[in-house]
Amino acid sequence: MSILVDSTTRLLCQGITGANGSFHAHQMIQYGTRLVAGVTPGKGGSCFAERIPIYDTVSAAVAETGANTSIIFVPAQFAADAILEAAESDIALIVAITEGIPVLDMVRVKHHLNSLGTLLIGPNCPGIITPPVCKVGIMPASIHTPGRVGVVSRSGTLTYEAVAQLTALGIGQSTCIGIGGDPVTGMNFVDILQLFEGDAGTDAVVLIGEIGGNTEEQAAEFIRDQMTKPVVAFVAGQTAPPEKRMGHAGAIISRGRGTAADKIRALEAAGVVVASTPAEIGATVKRVLDG
């Protein structure tokens, strides 16, 4: 079992002929993902990797290939329109890898997606993977192994670190998701936790947060009130100075709110076991699973 992507996912890649889109499209195909189409305006009628058709529009790609998921490698200035084009073409899940999309663009996108019911992961994220059947993103495939622990993170790099530790300890993953750390994103911690809670193939969840915003506190409320599965967490930015942005655009402490200490207190009060350092994430999960 898994959430959001699996062997039935039919993926199209927007921006497939660009350097990043082309490189990662090859990697996803190699992993076994069913990449059925590419979209690059003006390149319609050509092929990628000699067999995957490229279309000028998402609507044409969906009509001819039945694509139900899209991954976005479009430059930041055009990415919002690319996301909206996918949503309006009945794509159910959009994964936006692009970083640097203007915040006001994402406010407009999120409002429109809410009215359509389309799911968005990202932007500025590594994507999502269900080992070993489907990778929709840029994460290194070799560190993942199939299993029953879900992973959701605001940090791409810490996602890889946590997964590598789990795999080294013989703990496989059901689905791993990087939701992105921008101020305005698509799916949040609560959205993903709800799916993991309902997934029969997930026994426990690793949640990796960071300073800024209040999504970790919202997750703590959901875990306290509705989550029956154990959750292990780590919160990055414990030594970050106030009013300084650390890494992600959303990772800033302002007016004393959004600190790591606040988030850790909320999570621990909800019954979450919080690892004190990144190096302890895997061992903490193992200890919780072993009881």
The residues annotated as belonging to the active site are: 248
Sheet holding 231-236, edge to edge: 134-137, 127-130, 173-178, 146-153, 204-210, 231-236, 273-274
Cis peptide before 241 (omega within 30 of 0): no
Give CA–CA dist 221/199, Å, rounded.
20
Give CA–CA dist 270/279, Å, rounded.
23
Which structure tokens are listed for 22? 């082309």
The 3-state DSSP class for residue 49 equals coil
Give every CB contact of residue 170 below 8 A, 6+ residues apart in sequence: none
Asked if 165 and 154 count as a contact pair (C-beta separation under 8 A), the reply is no
Strand locations in the chain, DSSP E?
11-14, 35-39, 47-48, 52-55, 69-72, 93-96, 119-121, 127-130, 134-137, 146-153, 173-178, 204-210, 231-236, 273-274
Cis peptide before 132 (omega within 30 of 0): yes
Amino acid at 86: A
Q: What angle do CA 1, 12, 9 make, to 5 degrees?
A: 15
The 3-state DSSP class for residue 206 equals strand
